[in-house]
A = this chain, B = another copy of it.
Amino acid sequence: MGETMTMAKALNAGLRRALEADPKVLLAGEDIGKLGGVFRITEHLQRDFGPERVVDSPLAESGIVGTSLGLALRGYRPVVEIQFDGFVYPAFDQIVSQVSRMRFRSMGRLSVPMVIRIPYGGSIGAIEHHSESPEAYFAHTPGLVVVTPGTPLDAYWMIQQAIASDDPVVFLEPKRRYHEKGEVDLTEPPLALDAARVVLQGGDATLFTYGPLVKTCVEAALAASAEGRSIEVVDLRSLSPLDDAAIRASVERTGRAIVVHEAVRTLGIGAEVAARIQEGCFYTLEAPVLRVAAYDMPYPPSKVESAYLPDLDRILDAVDRSLAY
C-alpha cells in the first residue's frame, strides 16, 4: 500500500486532501497561487481549488496572519504560508499576541484553527534570513502548538492533523528535506500530532531531535552502532507541547540524553528538554543532558554553515562525551 514520495509532494497531497475534505479550509500566502509557492508545496492547488481558496496575498506577513485570524473567527480554517523562516518575524505580534491568545482572551468562546506553515532550517546554501530556526520563540508562547515532521509520512498526516486542530499550529517544514523521498504508507493509522516517536531503539543513550536533523541523528546512531554502541533516536515531532512521557520513558531506558537541533543553543528547545529531563529523571541520569546545536551567533554565510550546524561528527562527539561520564 505504500508509495514513495518526497516531503514536498506529501505536503502537497496532504493540503489537497484537507482542501477536499473541508470547504472551510483555505490557503493564503505570497506566491502560493500560480507559482505554487517558491518551494512548489502548493503547486496546482490554486488551479484546482480556485483563487478564493488558494489566495495570493499582498506582501505583508502581519497582514497575512492578521486577516487569516479574521477569517478563522468567521469559521474558516486558514493555512498560511510564510515564504521563509526569516520572514515570520514581521507577523510576530499577530502570532504571539493575537492568534495564540484569542481563545484565552475570549474565555474559551472563540477558536483560531489556523496553521502557519514555515519552511525552516539551513543547510541549503541560501543567503541570510533563509535558514532560520525560530521554533523556540513559538514554543515559549502559550496557546500555540508547534510541530515539525521529519519524514514524508509524517508530513502527509501531520499537516492534515494540524489543519483539523482547533488550536493554532505553527507547522515547521524542514526545507532541506523537501526533496528527499520516503515511504508514505497510508494503511497505518497516523500517530497523534502531539506524540514523539522512537525512530531507532537503543540502550546506551538517547538522541532527542526533530525536523531536519532526524535523519542526521539516525545516521549518527547507525554509525555509532558500527562501533558497538546502541543509540536510541527519538523524533520529538511536537515541540509544544512536548511529549514528556515519551521523553522520560526513553531516558529511563538509556540513562543518557543528548538533544540535537539547528537552532542556537541558548534557550533552544534543548534547554527545555534538558531542564525537564534533569528534573524528571534526576536519579536515572548517568551523565548530564548534552546539547548539540548551532553556536550562539547569527546564521553565518552558507559556505560555513556546515561547520555552524550540528552534523554527524558533532553528534557522535557528544555521544562519546556523554558515554564518558
Contact = CB atoms under 8 A, between A and B. Distances in A.
A231 to B, nearest CB: 19
A297 B104 contact: yes
A89 B104 CA distance: 18
Interface stretch (A25-33, A47-55, A108-116, A273-281): A273-281
Given A97-B129, A129-B97, A298-B142, A271 B279 contact: no
Interface string A128-169: 110000001101101100000000000000000000000000
Given A93-B89, A288-B278, A297 B142 contact: yes
Q: How many copies does the complex hold?
A: 2
A267 interface: yes
A272 B266 contact: yes
Contacts of A268: 140
A267 B298 contact: no
A143 B271 CA distance: 19
A264 B142 CA distance: 8
A200 B179 CA distance: 57
B267 A278 contact: no
Contacts of A267: 136, 139-140, 267, 269, 271-272
Nearest to A62: B90
Interface of A: 62, 86, 89-90, 92-93, 96-97, 100-101, 104-105, 128-129, 136-137, 139-140, 142-143, 240, 263-264, 266-272, 274-275, 278-279, 282, 287-291, 296-298, 325
Which 3 pairs of residues, A with B, have the shortest CB-CB distance?
A: A89-B93, A140-B267, A92-B92
21 contacts: A89-B97, A92-B93, A97-B129, A100-B298, A101-B128, A104-B297, A105-B128, A105-B298, A137-B140, A140-B140, A140-B267, A142-B264, A142-B298, A143-B298, A267-B269, A271-B272, A275-B289, A275-B291, A278-B278, A279-B291, A282-B287
